[in-house]
Structure 1
Amino acid sequence: MRAIPDSLDAVVVAEIDRRLESVAAEHGVRVPWAIESGSRAWGFPSPDSDYDCRFLFVGPRERYLTLWPGRDVIETPLDDVFDVNGWDLPKALTLIARGNATAVEWLRSPIVYGGDTAFRRDLLTYAAAVVERSAIARHYLHVARRQQKGAQTLKRFFYVLRPAAALRWLADHPDDALPPMDLPTLLSETTVPDEIRGAAAELITLKSVTRELGSGKAPTVLRRFAARELERAGAFESMAPEKNPGEVRERADEVFRRIVG
């Protein structure tokens, strides 16, 4: 599977492909899933946005049959353009079990550098079975609250707006715990009024042609929407887990053994 929009720089994409091939060769692992994260995948890039490639890797069985396991993260050199790093399969599975929304987002990115669809389907099925809606909601709630601290800029507001949209998506989909990753899709799959979608689309267009959005205020309709959703999501703070921890661990082990074995 590969999904690369024309808006991505072909030279940069080629270098990301090269780095992924190098990771597999140098570390003796396979990379069944590699995607773009960050503002490009979230649906609101700036002209100077860097590339945030994230990947999941799987080693041979011997990698996991040792008393001294290696690092569960592989990183490549970081610079102004490239931010390419990934997680070992056990790390991803355990984080998903704990309700880490970032790990789930990687499986739902609209930009895919390379991916095994069966691997993705396996992990999404696992995530749907074990993830606590309340844990996912708290993740987005806390992300938004952190971004509300400090100097407020239009750029930072996007990091409040997307979590707010994810929380609205969860409210509108009471039987699902895996929101889409990008802001336009989140809004399109919710019951928000058209004025909110329109205001968000205008702000995204502005960001796409402006290197620095500055410290101006976001549109009132969007600020009110975000505040309302964050206030409503406060109810998730006190929600108790619904999943059986033992069953979650068994499910994680089952997926891990099937993929590695």
Structure 2
Amino acid sequence: MSYVRIDAIPASVQKEIESRLAEIETEENIHILMAVESGSRAWGFPSPDSDYDVRFIYVRTRDWYLSLRPGRDVIEQPIVDDIDLNGWDIRKALGLLLKSNAVINEWIESPIRYRQDHAIVAALRNLADDLLDSRALAHHYANLGRSNAARWIEVAGDVPVKKYFYSLRPALAIRFLRNYPDKRPPMNLQALIDASDLAKSLVADIDQLVEAKKMTNEKSNGARKPDVDALINDELARASEVSGRLDEDDSFNARAEEIFLELVNS
């Protein structure tokens, strides 16, 4: 995969993000292992006013993990100039990865990297691949898609284009998992479409929605697409068809522990 999509992020913004990440490392006394885009820019359908949703995984010094009272395992920064920076401690990230958490899987899969990954990220990716629970991911996407679709899909009239995508992407992720239960769904919408074997008319409808979102702000309405509505409803209802991981392998915990200890002892 491509680790840095410079073309997707203006050079001035890229430079500012890199500067802020370096400041966080100094102020928090951490080392950032990976920093990625997690929002609509990585999904492939940003609006002109979309934020830059920068997410990172970091490790602290060894002594911090030896404290009697566990410290806060997230770093959150206020949004400034449309740049939203938030990060998770490696121990939190590994704990969620062992549960096949969809968010951490998406970060690992992001096509936009704001830095070169630390070498340990390859081990994180391999672990995520081996313990992937497609049913858990499908359940996440079904809940996400339904909670968003419930606000508009049964209501007549135009709907903000943004809301379409917050239901469509989860629906296509479920479709991907039904077809490829041993693989992690790509973040990027076009990659999901390419793997979905959709009718040409549906692809054309989705392309029109993407173009509309590129040209309008986050709250602008767009014309309804009945076939896309039907696709969303159908796929969100089929999450239970996705098979889960059958084996319970204790070696996953040992591998996560090994990754953690390698980092904090280095």
TM-score, normalised with respect to structure 1: 0.90
Unmatched tracts of structure 1, length 5 or more: none
- Structure 1 residue 166, shift from structure 2 partner: 0.7
Going from structure 1 to structure 2, the CA distance change for 1:27 and 1:144 (only over 3 Å counts) comes to same
The answer to whether the 8 Å contact 2:40/2:46 transfers is yes
Q: Deviations over 1:63-87 (max 9, x none)?
A: 2222222211112222451211100
The answer to whether the 8 Å contact 1:36/1:54 transfers is yes
2: CA distance, partners of 1:240 / 1:120 = 25
Structure 2 match to 1:173: 180
The answer to whether the 8 Å contact 1:137/1:233 transfers is yes
RMSD value over aligned CA atoms? 2.1
The answer to whether the 8 Å contact 1:130/1:243 transfers is no
2: CA distance, partners of 1:156 / 1:234 = 24
Structure 1 match to 2:38: 37
Structure 1 match to 2:214: 208
2: CA distance, partners of 1:59 / 1:243 = 33
1: CA distance, partners of 2:189 / 2:68 = 43
Structure 2 match to 1:85: 86
TM-score, normalised with respect to structure 2: 0.89
- Structure 1 residue 216, shift from structure 2 partner: 4.1
Going from structure 1 to structure 2, the CA distance change for 1:222 and 1:189 (only over 3 Å counts) comes to same
- 1:232 aligns to 2:238 (yes or no): yes
Task: Please tell me the residue identity of whatever aligns with 1:187.
Answer: I
The answer to whether the 8 Å contact 2:134/2:244 transfers is no
Going from structure 1 to structure 2, the CA distance change for 1:206 and 1:228 (only over 3 Å counts) comes to same
- Structure 1 residue 11, shift from structure 2 partner: 2.3
The answer to whether the 8 Å contact 2:135/2:240 transfers is no
Structure 2 match to 1:192: 198
1: CA distance, partners of 2:214 / 2:241 = 34
The answer to whether the 8 Å contact 1:162/1:183 transfers is yes
Going from structure 1 to structure 2, the CA distance change for 1:25 and 1:3 (only over 3 Å counts) comes to same
Going from structure 1 to structure 2, the CA distance change for 1:200 and 1:213 (only over 3 Å counts) comes to farther
Q: Deviations over 1:96-138 (max 9, x none)?
A: 1112111110011111100326332211101112231111111
Question: In the comparison of the two structures, how many residue pairs are matched?
Answer: 258
Unmatched tracts of structure 2, length 5 or more: 153-158
- Structure 1 residue 181, shift from structure 2 partner: 0.8
- Structure 1 residue 12, shift from structure 2 partner: 2.1
- Structure 1 residue 51, shift from structure 2 partner: 0.9
1: CA distance, partners of 2:12 / 2:179 = 40
Structure 1 match to 2:156: none
The answer to whether the 8 Å contact 2:127/2:252 transfers is no
Bigger drift between 161-170 and 76-85 goes to 76-85
1: CA distance, partners of 2:117 / 2:225 = 41
1: CA distance, partners of 2:49 / 2:109 = 24
